[in-house]
């Protein structure tokens, strides 16, 4: 079952605070993605901070997105930071 992101907030250090449809708040570290021409542009904080909910996932300006399963399974619960 794929969980949906329902709320996202950009944090310092290229991390996201994401609330999922099961009520969990989790922290996703975007640092590993920030490379190359496509995701490398997220190094610019003005672009990074454009993150928003798009469907069941998150998306940045220009259509950059992350698989919702990746967001959930490669993030940590807020209380385990």
Q: Over the stretch 34-70, which tens digit does the pLDDT of each residue have?
A: 999 999 999 999 999 999 999 999 999 999 999 999 9
Its pTM stands at: 0.92
- Going from the C-alpha of 34 to that of each of 1, 18, 69, 74, 79, the distances in angstroms are 27, 18, 18, 15, 25
- Quick one: pLDDT at residue 78? 95
CATH of the domain at 50: 3.30.2020.10
User: How many domains does the chain contain in total?
Assistant: 1
Identify whether the C-beta of residue 71 lies closer than 8 Å to the C-beta of residue 18.
Answer: yes
* DSSP letter for each residue of 8-55: EEEETTTEEEEEETTS-EEEEE-GGG--HHHHGGGGSHHHHTT-EEET
Structural domain of 58: 5-80
What are φ and ψ of residue 17, in 5° steps? Answer: -95, 115
């Amino acid at each position: 079952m794929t969980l949906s992101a329902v709320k996202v907030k950009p944090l310092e250090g290229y991390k996201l605070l994401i609330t999922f449809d099961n009520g969990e708040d989790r922290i996703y570290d975007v640092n590993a993605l920030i490379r190359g021409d496509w995701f490398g542009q997220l190094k610019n904080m003005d672009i990074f901070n454009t993150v928003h909910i798009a469907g069941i996932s998150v998306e940045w300006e220009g259509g950059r997105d992350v698989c919702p399963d990746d967001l959930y399974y490669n993030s940590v619960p807020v209380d385990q930071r």
